[in-house]
Structure 1
Amino acid sequence: MAHKDKLQKIWNQFEQTVSEVDKPYDLQGMRQLHDALIDVYYKYNTVSHVFNEFLRRANTQESLLEMESQLSIQKAHKMVVDGALSRLKTPPRRSGSRHSSNHSGDSKRSSVIARKRAEVEAAKAKMKYAEQEAMILKQQALLEEQQDVSNANVTRQKADLKADLGLIAQQKEAAGAKAELAALELEESEGSQRDLQLAEYNVVQVVDTTERTKQYINSLPNAENQIKETQNGIEQMADKQEPTHIPQPHKFPNFKPTPRGPLLSAFIKNDNHEPPGFTVQQPHLNVKATPFTPLKLEMEDRTVNNSAFAGIGQSLIRVYQILTQEGSTTDPSH
């Protein structure tokens, strides 16, 4: 880490400054050395504080362990700084060379002991956190192993799911084909049933129509009997008619027949005294028999009642005879 390297560099500079403490200086030199130690230690504390804040913000297990290790090292380094500053507070004596030599040796030993003590404390802190770091690394390795096993299980489960999906797809296709076949068979069965019902309905309709026709025919009177009854009625009407005497045309040489039967005024109003003539039109009967319907006796428009016509003819003959007799009595040639 950059912060850690920077701290180590500053601390090396501090150790070089501390090594100057045991040298003989005058009061001015000692003050300068004191200020140099304070300045280097201030830089060390500033960088340490920044590094600790960085580790705290990281808020990981490794960063927290590293922060605790740095705090222990910084505590040991502070002990070294305090020892060096305490020695600078006592100025060296210049009374004798022997005394100065002993004092110089004691200062060097004290500095070495303080430095070694700081190193031991730092080593203890490092050992403590190294053990914790080793435990964490073991746990991490175990987790990675478990993760590998889990990944293998996940991979195997994915393969199983993929195989199951393929099987389900085939089953789905088979089920769709089966459902389609069932639908076609049902449609064919319903179509056959509809055709059968339609055929049965048609047969029933034909039978029913035939039966109703037979019933209608049986309910009607017999056509032959109706024809015979009609013919008998016509013969009876003919027998009841009176015979009609029609004058022969050769007895009247000047007779001119009219196209239709004359009216009565034609016999009365005859200025030429010609014998009247008339025609008798026989009735024309039109008998139409329709199968399975009642017979009707129809008369054409020109048909007249035979008995009534016969009566009119007799009346005309009498009128003619009377006129003839009157003419014969008045004519002198007769």
Structure 2
Amino acid sequence: MLRYLAVRLSSMLVVLFAVSIGLFALVLAAPGDPATTMLSPEELGNSQEYIEQRRHELGLDRPVPLQYVAWAGRVVQGDLGTSFVNQNRPVAQLLLERLGPTLELMLTAMTLSVILALVLGVTAAARKNKPADYLISTSTMLVMSVPAFFLGMLAIYVFAFRLRWLPSSGMASPSDGGLIDLLKHLVLPAGILAIHGCASLIRYVRTGLLEELNADYVRTAVAKGASPMRARMHALRNSLLPLITLLMMNVPELLGGAVILETLFSWPGMGQLTLAAIGNQDIPLIVGFGLIVTILVLFSNLLADLLYRLADPRVRLR
């Protein structure tokens, strides 16, 4: 196990290094000049020498390889640089402030999506080729074909504007800010993200459970006197192994959906901050966000392997 973890962590460092180079090159290759983007209209009216001075202060006048080496040297020491726009605040501080709300949204959505996938997937498998199965299958296909932002706008219109049951934006009300208020604000973005993310999981749970129920060991167990319920529970456990991998592979999709829904619902997470950074060409903040996302994805893949081993002791980690 320790050897496996050492090899995986080493490979993760290599991937992180390659991703950092790609992110840095792509951001610098984007059209526009960050030095002019962050200047006010009055400052833009100054001479070209003033703009060149600003570029020199930001280190944008140096060759790209030298800029990357200087940036990577700071990253190794835990310094992601300073934001060009957000009052020159450290990028790590900005992202850590927004990481909590993003993880809260993602983990809530992930938990809800697993619960929905298990309940609806098992229901569809137990009622194969019956109205409930057709209804669940049709609904999942419909949800998968509709973008998350459209479902979000529809939910805002119905539950916030028409019914007035839930708030339409933010993370807390200025007059409240308690746990109940937080949950009310969390329902819509986390619910939409969970519904959109569980559609494909439902299909895997249904298909996997049907395959396991038709396996020889289930028939043999029932023939030897095992109760049908016990045999189904054992089949369900075996059918969930691919679900673990699929769930962790959906982390990038969850992050992408979270970025969109954070903007739509004004949720104060990393996605909303990064979209503003992209508009302002805030290079350190954009690259820092990319690194955080890469680390989350890499560790989610590692966690998937460990959970797979925990769920099935026969699996060997190599």
Shorter-chain TM range is under 0.3
TM-score by length of 2: 0.26
TM-score by length of 1: 0.25
Structure of larger gyration radius? 1
Whose RCO is larger (CA < 8 A, sep 6+)? 2
